[in-house]
């Protein structure tokens, strides 16, 4: 390999490393939100109004967080969780204020997407438990959006 090729190779490797660093440094909750919204998209056709507002943050592998939300009996809700870390595994589950599982059985998890379906039996506060089950990153951004009809 001549000197020019070596320099080219080293520069290329450096650029790739910089790109990877930049990507991880600039990845944000907003990126996670776009994935959560992607998960929600098919449900809009079913008449769900997806809220513009959302919750977000970052979690380590195996960590959970609780989000409290007011739900109204008579409505039907879906909560969608997403992260931009595509090798992460996330989950979301919904409990009532007594800590009893309150979701329908058709919730789903697939890698960096997860969703939970709730038809509240009572009007009041519910707890949505978001979790990063596994992730190659030390901290993983997450975003949770919800829709209702």
Partner 1 sequence: MSVLCGVALSASAAQAPQHINIKQFSTTVEDVVVPLPNEIFGALNKLGTVNWKAHVRSDKGPNFTERPRIALLLGTVIADGFIAVQAEDAAAVKDIGQRVLTLAKGIGVGDSITPHAKAITEAADKRNWENVRRELDRTQNSVQQAMNEVHDEKLSQLVSLGGWLRGTEVLTSVVTEHFSADGAELLHQPDLLSYFQTRLQAMPEFDVPILHQIQDALVAVKPLIDVGDRSIPPESVKKVKDITTRVGRGIVTRD
Residues that bind partner 1 (CB under 8 A): 38-39, 41-42, 49, 51-55, 57, 63-70, 72-75, 91, 93, 95, 97-101, 103, 107-110, 113-116, 122-125, 127, 129, 133, 146, 148-149
| Beta carbon of residue 103, minimum distance to partner 1 (angstroms, whole number) | 8
Residue 107, classified by CB atoms within 10 Å of its CB into exposed (0-12), middle (13-18) or buried (19+), is middle
Handedness of CA 48, 101, 96, 67 (dihedral sign): negative
Which of 5/42 has CB closer to partner 1?
Answer: 42
Handedness of CA 51, 52, 56, 62 (dihedral sign): positive
| Beta carbon of residue 60, minimum distance to partner 1 (angstroms, whole number) | 11
Which of 11/123 has CB closer to partner 1?
Answer: 123
| Beta carbon of residue 129, minimum distance to partner 1 (angstroms, whole number) | 7
| Beta carbon of residue 36, minimum distance to partner 1 (angstroms, whole number) | 11
Residue 44 to residues 37, 38, 47, 50, 52: CA-CA distances in angstroms? 10, 11, 5, 7, 13
């Amino acid at each position: 390999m001549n000197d020019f090729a070596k320099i080219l190779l080293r520069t290329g490797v450096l650029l790739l490393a910089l790109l990877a660093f930049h990507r991880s440094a600039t990845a944000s909750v907003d990126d996670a939100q776009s994935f959560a919204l992607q998960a929600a998209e098919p449900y809009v056709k079913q008449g769900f109004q997806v809220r513009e507002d959302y919750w977000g943050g970052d979690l380590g592998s195996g960590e959970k967080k609780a989000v409290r939300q007011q739900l109204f009996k008579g409505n039907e809700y879906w909560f969608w969780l997403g992260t931009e870390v595509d090798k992460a595994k996330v989950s979301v589950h919904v409990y009532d204020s007594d800590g009893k599982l309150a979701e329908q059985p058709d919730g789903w998890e697939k890698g960096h997407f997860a969703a939970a379906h709730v038809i509240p039996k009572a009007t009041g506060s519910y707890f949505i438990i978001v979790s990063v089950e596994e992730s190659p990153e030390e901290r993983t951004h997450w975003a949770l959006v919800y829709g209702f009809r």
